[in-house]
Amino acid sequence: MGFLQGVTIDGQLIIWLAIGILLVFGIMVVNSRMRRVAVFGGRAILGAIGIAAINLALGGLGLALGVGVNLMTVAVVAFLGLPGIVMLYGLTFIL
């Protein structure tokens, strides 16, 4: 019986319930973190595609307002979303 030796049936039930609850909460935390990583990665990919599409559209219009697709710009867009794209193009226009 090991670590449960000397524990009554009621005590065992409480221990197993506690272990089950901790296991469920542990799975929820891992799932939550993985979901956040997946959402961040998805936003980063969509942001990179969005920047490339806007660069292509602006190039077709003859405007030289290209924002480079690199780690920093993709990270900004992944954190900020659409306002991040607008900010990057605004900074490119100003600078």
Cα–Cα separations (whole angstroms), residue 16 to 10, 27, 41, 82: 10, 16, 37, 47
Each residue of 49-88: pLDDT tens digit?
899 889 988 888 888 888 988 999 999 999 999 999 999 9
Query: For position 80, what pLDDT does the model report?
Result: 94
Residue, of 32 and 53, whose pLDDT is higher: 53
Whether the CB-CB separation of 93 and 65 falls below 8 Å is answered with yes
pTM: 0.67
Q: Which DSSP letter does residue 67 get?
A: P
Per-residue confidence at 6, pLDDT binned at 50, 70, 90? low
Query: For position 18, what pLDDT does the model report?
Result: 75
